[in-house]
Structure 1
Amino acid sequence: MCGRYERHSDKQRIADAFKVGKLPPGFELPPDYNVAPQTFQPVVRLNRETGERELTLMRWGLVPYWAKDSKVGFSSINARAETVTTAPVFREAFKRRHCLVPADAFYEWQKLDEKGKNKQAFAIARKDREPMAFAGLWEAWKDPNQSVPLETFSIITTDPNELMQSIHTRMPVIVPKADWSRWLGPVDPAQPPTDILRPHPAEEMTAWKVKKDVGNVKNNDASLTEPCEPCADSTGSLFS
């Protein structure tokens, strides 16, 4: 599962890294050090009219076009690589609506006991600190009470690589730069890019312990990604 990530890159760095053309007028993108589901975040997709890459804001938690209401988005922040082509919530989006989700790091929690009551928070990023591109899907849902469709996205997850195995059982799919164009589409129904949905090479990534503060979505500042050893929680007790 990928339920929290971090993005400090500004709009220009993202536009440059993802080869996005002209940004929309007035487009603002403050850093978000504790990205949580149901918030609006930047994604990169192909413009329907020009076919060029564009940067736009969508809400995290995919709502399929046929949904009766938007509540389904609370349980669809992630799509599993193993079932994304068949799961009713995601299969139509996989056929034609791919996107890349820019991130500088993601958070995961390592269980320290069998019951999972004690956990250690980790931040995971690329070793070169370049922005990552999570494999995403997006949808447009029409709220009968709104004139503008709600655009939402989901992040695809896969098995952990060697780095992640000791931390968690899943990790987000990180699309290599060489595959960005193929992932964004257009998707060839005869050869869908399912081969991209694999663990990212562990040797290109790094992980470090961070404070328990990241578990509270109200905390959102640069200190959340700072390494800690040992790590104290808000009550002063220490993680082992």
Structure 2
Amino acid sequence: MCGRFARRSTQEVLADWFGVELEDMPFFAPSYNVAPQSTQPVVRLNHDTGKPEFALMRWGLVPYWAKDPKVGYTTINARSEEVEKKPLYRDAVKKRRCLVPADAFYEWQKLEGKAKKPFAFGLKNDEPYAFAGLWERWKPKDGEPLETFTILTTDPNELAETVHDRMPVILEPKDYDRWMEPGDPARPPIDLLRPLPAEKMRSWPVNERVGNVKNDEAGLLQPCEPEDPAQGSLW
């Protein structure tokens, strides 16, 4: 699964990366410890122009047909192999696909007893990346519509499997357009939902402070001990 991630890239960097005009973006600051139920920027296609746009959405997908938004507490992730059949996601995967900008994600490696060790996973080239996501708009009887998203997960690559048995789907930049474009609703591009090659990634241990959602500073991404030389350095 993916329950925490970091987005340290500035709005200027992300505007350029995703081909969006800076002045058209809603304001958001970097976050080094993004947690479920927080409001985060995602990239989708504008309904009228068909061009990429940033929108602020809550993490934890609430289907448009849900009776209660509390369902979003259990839908921060969607298993790629289930999205076409599971009622929670099958409409969204046909019509409402999005990108979730990030620079790293966190996973915890189980040790002896109840002990766990947190690791961050980023790209070797130090560039930002995008998780494959789905989004929904839920309308309550009273009040404003709520837009939410989920992050798709897949089997781990060789690097991620040393820590966890799942990993988020990280899309290649060349596949961004294809993932978001409407296409044929009967044939969504689920072939893109695969592990990113391990040779493009690196991992490093981080401080246990990342386990507390109240902690959100740049130091959380710093290696807490020397990295494996074979994986290179983050900075």
Provide the TM-score with structure 2 as the length reference.
Answer: 0.93
Amino acid at match of 1:218: K
For 1:162-177, what aligned pairs fall within 5 Å after superposition?
162-177=158-173
CA contact (8 A) 1:21 1:53 kept: no
For 1:87-98, what aligned pairs fall within 5 Å after superposition?
87-98=86-97
The 1-side partners of 2:216 and 2:165 are apart by: 26
Structure 1 partner of 2:68: 69
CA contact (8 A) 1:107 1:123 kept: yes
Deviation at 1:228, TM superposition (A): 1.1
CA contact (8 A) 2:94 2:187 kept: no
Structure 1 partner of 2:231: none
The 2-side partners of 1:225 and 1:162 are apart by: 22
CA contact (8 A) 1:23 1:55 kept: no
**What's the secondary structure of 2:28's corresponding residue?**
coil
The yes-or-no answer on 1:18 pairing with 2:18 is yes
Deviation at 1:95, TM superposition (A): 0.7
Q: CA RMSD in A?
A: 1.2
Amino acid at match of 2:198: A
Deviation at 1:185, TM superposition (A): 1.2
The yes-or-no answer on 1:153 pairing with 2:149 is yes
Aligned length: 226
Structure 1 partner of 2:180: 184
The 2-side partners of 1:22 and 1:28 are apart by: 10
Structure 1 partner of 2:140: 143
Identity of aligned residues (%): 59
The 2-side partners of 1:13 and 1:88 are apart by: 36
Structure 2 partner of 1:103: 102
Structure 1 partner of 2:78: 79
- Residues 213 and 141 of structure 1: is their aligned pair in 2 closer, same or farther, counting only changes over 3 Å? same
User: Could you tell me which of 125, 133, 138 is aligned with 1:128?
Assistant: 125
For 1:194-213, what aligned pairs fall within 5 Å after superposition?
194-213=190-209
The 1-side partners of 2:64 and 2:23 are apart by: 27
Q: Over residues 89-131 of structure 1, what are the superposed CA-to-partner deviations in whole Å (9 max), with x where a residue is unaligned?
A: 1111001000000001000000113x5x111100000111111
CA contact (8 A) 1:23 1:54 kept: no
Unaligned runs of 5+ in 2: 227-235
Deviation at 1:191, TM superposition (A): 3.2
Amino acid at match of 1:130: E
The yes-or-no answer on 1:43 pairing with 2:42 is yes
CA contact (8 A) 2:94 2:186 kept: no
**What's the secondary structure of 1:165's corresponding residue?**
helix
**What's the secondary structure of 2:150's corresponding residue?**
strand
Higher helix proportion (structure 1 or 2): 2
Structure 2 partner of 1:233: none
CA contact (8 A) 1:2 1:172 kept: yes
Deviation at 1:23, TM superposition (A): 3.7
The 2-side partners of 1:187 and 1:3 are apart by: 30
**What's the secondary structure of 1:156's corresponding residue?**
strand
Deviation at 1:215, TM superposition (A): 0.4
CA contact (8 A) 1:120 1:209 kept: yes
Deviation at 1:183, TM superposition (A): 0.0
**What's the secondary structure of 1:54's corresponding residue?**
strand
Structure 2 partner of 1:238: none
The 1-side partners of 2:22 and 2:47 are apart by: 15
